[in-house]
Amino acid sequence: MAQEQFADIRLTTKARAAALLGAEQEAALARAWRDTRDKAALDTLITAYMRLALSMAAKFRRYGAAMPDLTQEAAMGLMKAAEKFDPDRGVRFSTYAMFWIKAQLQDYVMRNWSMVRTGSTTSQKSLFFNMRRVEARLVREAAAEGRVLEGQDLREAVALELGVPLGDVAMMDGRLSGSDASLNATQASDEDGREWIDVLEDESTQAADRFASTHDRAVLRDHLTFALNTLSPRERMIVRERQLVEAPRTLESLGLELKLSKERIRQLEAAAFAKLRRALEAQGASPREFLR
């Protein structure tokens, strides 16, 4: 933190000591960077207008961002402006750079103001940076006329004033009215120091349910193993390939392997199912839990 503050002070001092540029000198530096990528020209141009970037960054401190971070974002906006600036259009670099610096700072503030992304559309930006100010003015004007402006009427007036959708006004009002809170924060009303995360419902399978499910599967597996052992090897093979695998085989493919007709395979399968059913029922298990 101390290093950041020192770097910030050094940058501010350098920016204040930089000489102001005239229109012709500014244009010459911009052309040198655009045409020949002259880094010395770029450094002179950026340093001369870093004072402007710092001044604009300071105005965004009210949104809770640290000044070193704002300074860095403002400098990035200034660099973007220098990259895209066309000196042949007759516009001063300072005027052009203000747009890029402001856009960079606004994006940074909106990204970091809350853990929940606020949004970056034109209407959302307008609301984020102007909504409370416009609301206060509209309320004052209504009060001067003897009217009370609040709730839905106030939101509709703000939407009309800023030219944005009413839904965006309602969304932004909710975002600006609340703040992020840690789930590890202690509940003020709880004497035992219980955290908010402790009251969240655990949607995962509970230990008792997991144990019961595992136990039931083990019992069913034992029943099936016992029932299959009552079959002949050929019957077990037919049942396994027809009922106990993810991709069941056809009667025809089993017939070709066992050198039997499809009808004979069907008869053996039916007989094996009958044996399995009797063996499972004798153990108190339902055949439906195992066979398709």
CATH number for the region 214-289 comes to 1.10.10.10
- What values do phi and psi take at 191, rounded to 5? -70, -25
pLDDT at residue 2 in the model: 44
Q: Which residue has the higher pLDDT, 119 or 50?
A: 50
pLDDT at residue 240 greater than cutoff 80: yes
Same fold, 10-112 and 214-289: no
69 vs 35: CA distance, rounded Å: 31
pLDDT at residue 174 in the model: 66
DSSP string, the chain: -HHHHHHHHHHHHHHHHSPP--HHHHHHHHHHHHHH--HHHHHHHHHHHHHHHHHHHHTTGGGT--HHHHHHHHHHHHHHHHHH--GGG---HHHHHHHHHHHHHHHHHHHHS-SS----SHHHHHHHHHHHHHHHHHHHHHHHTT----HHHHHHHHHHHHT--HHHHHHHHHHHH-----TTSBPTT-TT--BGGGGS---SPPHHHHHHHHHHHHHHHHHHHHHHTTS-HHHHHHHHHHHSSSSPPPHHHHHHHHT--HHHHHHHHHHHHHHHHHHHHHTT--GGGT--
What's at 223, amino acid-wise?
H
Q: What is the mean pLDDT of residues 143-147?
A: 87
Q: Which residue has the tokens 């409370």?
A: 132
pLDDT at residue 195 in the model: 61
pLDDT at residue 29 in the model: 92
The whole model's pTM is what?
Answer: 0.47
CA distance readout (Å), 184 to 189, 193, 200: 15, 10, 11
* 188-223: pLDDT as tens digits: 555 565 665 555 555 555 555 555 556 567 767 777
Handedness of CA 153, 156, 158, 160 (dihedral sign): negative
Mean confidence (pLDDT) of the chain = 78
pLDDT at residue 96 in the model: 92
pLDDT at residue 179 in the model: 53
Q: Which residue has the tokens 């141009």?
A: 45
pLDDT at residue 180 in the model: 47
Q: Which residue has the higher pLDDT, 114 or 237?
A: 237
pLDDT at residue 115 in the model: 44
pLDDT at residue 150 in the model: 83
Is 1.20.120.1810 the CATH classification of the domain at 10-112?
A: yes
pLDDT at residue 116 in the model: 46
Question: Domain ranges in the chain?
Answer: 10-112, 122-177, 214-289
pLDDT at residue 242 in the model: 84
Q: What is the mean pLDDT of residues 226-255?
A: 84
* 65-91: pLDDT as tens digits: 888 888 889 999 999 999 999 999 888
